[in-house]
Amino acid sequence: MRIGKVIGRVSMSVVYDTLVGGRFLIVEVQDRFSLAGQKRKSVETVVVYDNIGGSEGDLIAFTESGEATRPFYPEKIVPLDAYNAAILDRVVIKHEM
């Protein structure tokens, strides 16, 4: 599971039947630097399926690959690579030496 910040949404005119009711978010993957309040060093951005209400500016926890389809199994077959598993209230990073 990784943490990301929602920076936008994807619009579509047609959606796979089993994904009706959700939407796709554009998510900027957060690294340990950005989570600690520093400048982000990674540049990865992914598209994440969301059916729990994430919106722009939210920090989310998302899962990828086969794990992204687990919330739908075995009732539905879904073509997903990333799934929003949680909207995070807060992330705390402690640096210990």
Per domain, the residue ranges of the chain are: 2-88
Q: For residue range 32-79, list pLDDT tens digits in order.
A: 888 888 888 888 999 999 989 999 999 999 998 776 667 666 666 677
CATH number of 2-88: 2.40.50.220
Phi, psi of 45, deg, nearest 5 = -130, 135
Q: Is the pTM of this model over 0.85?
A: no
Higher-pLDDT residue of 1 and 15 is 1
Question: What span, in angstroms and rounded, lies between the C-alpha atoms of 61 and 84?
Answer: 6
